[in-house]
Structure 1
């Protein structure tokens, strides 16, 4: 399933958070949004998983206007890991993961054998199967993040939307999660702050600045020193990864920038 944002704008009061954003996520590809804090990345994602209605523009799923779909229909196609995806209720890990089947459920029917196996497999894939009977409030931030990824997988989406999925994860689980994303074979739109991780996992990258798309292309096309300094305000040297050839950024603080806390 392909995803396309067409002239997407989001205004809150007098502030325009996203401005005329047009970006395509082809079927089966991984596309990342990067940019400084407050550049509109999470706001754009909220329009895709329907937590926010755009002021102008359209989100298309396989040529169908997302806003015209019934909520259950869109929930069967799009799964989201949000920055606010936690739970205040102490469900067990297994119960949280099983909630991923909600868009497919009818009434109070219990999970069938296939769905139970789907939940078990998803927990294994993100390394939380040993936590199945633990209350989710007893988990670390990284463990909770992996539980929520398992819930997304159980939803069997055709489009996966991930907002900072590596938050709270140690290096091993960051690599494991992004490898899983790469191998999932579904359409993925994600926000990452780590540009080196974005270069490793994304087929294409869109760069946002002040709500506008200022660059779009492959990691090699987009992650160049001139753009990094212009958008992020830091000097960077780009070198190829010795094993994969992916661009990797080595940062140097801009000597002309004022130190934090000074004027």
Structure 2
């Protein structure tokens, strides 16, 4: 399913947070949004999973305006992992994962055998099946993050929207998750802070600064020393990864303040 953010603007508290953002996320591709803190990445994502309405512009799924769909219909197409996924309710892991089926169920309709199998396979895929009977509040941050990704996959979305999904994950699970995003076969829009992870996992990278899109394209095209200096204020050398050939960023620390006194 194609996702298009079309001339999107968002005003919050009297300030324009997102400025006329247009970005295409083609069917089956992984598109990453990167940018400094406060650049509007998460705000743009909130419009895609309908936690926030845009002040102007549209979000389109295969050309259809998201706001023309019922909440149930859009939730059957778009699943989200947000930064505000905490819960005060101590569901078990398997109960929380099963909630991903909610948009597809009516009333108290029980899960079918296929849906129960889907929950088990998603938990196995995210390496949390052994936690099925544990309370979610007992889990570490990384374990809970993987449970929430499993819940999103159980939703069987056509579009997967993830805001900093590698938060709290150790290196192995970061790499496993980003590899999964490339293999899962759905359209993915993901916010990442780690530019090297974005370079490795994304087909296209969109760079935001002060709410506006600075550039979008392949990691090789976009992640240049000049852009890193302009947008992020850092000095970096870009080198080819020795195994994949993709761009990898080597940062230079700023001069020590102690030595400059």
Shorter-chain-normalised TM-score: which range?
over 0.9
TM-score when normalising by structure 2: 0.97
Name 2:101's counterpart in structure 1: 101
Computed over aligned residues only, the root mean square deviation of the Cα atoms, in angstroms, reads 1.3
Equivalent residue number for residue 82 of structure 1: 82
Structure 1 residue 92: deviation in Å? 0.1
After TM superposition, the structure 1 = structure 2 runs for residues 51-200 of structure 1, keeping only pairs within 5 Å, are 51-200=51-200
How far did residue 13 of structure 1 move? 2.9
Q: CA deviation at 1:259?
A: 5.4
Q: CA deviation at 1:95?
A: 0.2
Which residue is equivalent to 1:19?
A: 19
The alignment of Structure 1 onto Structure 2 pairs a total of residues equal to 259
User: Structure 1, unaligned stretches of length 5 or more?
Assistant: none
Give me the whole-angstrom Cα distance separating, in 1, the residues matched to 2:151 and 2:185: 17
- The CA deviation string for residues 142-189 of structure 1, in whole angstroms up to 9 with x for no partner, is 000000000000000000000000000000000111111010111000
**Cα shift at 1:12:** 1.2
Q: Give the Cα separation in 1 of the matches to 2:99 and 2:246.
A: 37
**4+ residue runs of structure 1 moved beyond 3 angstroms?**
none
C-alpha change, 1:259 and 1:6, in structure 2 (3 Å) is farther
Q: Aligned pair in 2 of structure 1 residues 108, 259: CA closer, same or farther (>3 Å)?
A: farther
Shift of 1:110: 0.9
Q: Deviations over 1:7-31 (max 9, x none)?
A: 1000013210000000000000000
Q: Secondary structure at the match of 2:238?
A: strand
TM-score scaled by length of structure 1:
0.97
Name the residue aligned to 1:248. 248
Residue 120 (structure 1) shift? 0.1
User: How far did 1:107 drift?
Assistant: 1.5
